[in-house]
Amino acid sequence: MAQIHSLFCFLYSLLIISLVRADHTVVHRHSRARAFIEFQCRTTLYPSLCIRTLSYYIGDFTTTLSRKHLAQIALKVTLGRAESTRAYVTGVAKGLDPKEAKDYQAIRQCLDQISDGVDLLTNCIKEMQKIKEHGSGSRNFPWRESNVKTWMSTALTDASMCINGLPGRSIGGKTKAMIKAKVLNLQHVTSNALALFNSFAARYRLSHVKKHKA
């Protein structure tokens, strides 16, 4: 009986030690991942927003610290913001009287611009998925890089045009302020995503130039 008790205590101690080590490993990986995110976000215009939005996905970086993956996550975050902004502006447009041509047309134009941004960001995500880290796929990188940069820059322009074209007081001050806040936030996360992509692209070009020279 005493031997069984001793064995149980021994196994229990091993279990506790294993759990403590596993927990320490997870904490260490999360710390490294957060440090990686914070460092990369320094290249953006809105680092605090960058860190806040991407830290939610910190678990995705506990095994591999990849600039490409970080840029992909940032793009997905941006697409999510664009879709939620589109949904809000769609609701506002449905509540307007088409007879009020100036306000209705301005909101509809804003909605079209945000929708165009959703399409462009979706294309960016698909294009990034085609970028290969190794092999012959890297030869197409300049083309894909140009596409992503062009589409993201256009999405930024669309958001800016939406804000500039918003009507005056007739849609309601709070509604206009909400649209502006959502579109500004969309602009900022798009800008951050573009900066992170640029960081990835610069490192990608450098690494592949070295490989070709070697």
pLDDT of residue 26: 41
Contact predicate 62/28, CB 8 Å: no
**What's the rounded mean pLDDT across residues 181-203?**
95
**What's the rounded mean pLDDT across residues 21-27?**
44
pLDDT of residue 9: 53
DSSP state of 136: G
d(CA 183, CA 188): 9
What CA–CA distances, in Å, run from 33 to 29, 48, 70, 98, 199?
Answer: 6, 16, 10, 50, 17
pLDDT reading at 20 higher than 50: no
pLDDT of residue 4: 54
Give the pTM.
0.81
58-107 pLDDT, tens digit each = 877 666 778 999 999 999 999 999 999 999 999 998 888 777 667 788 88
Q: Is the dihedral of CA 10, 14, 20, 21 positive or negative?
A: positive
pLDDT reading at 175 higher than 60: yes
Mean pLDDT of all residues belonging to the chain: 82
pLDDT reading at 119 higher than 60: yes
> What percent of the chain is predicted at pLDDT more than 90?
50
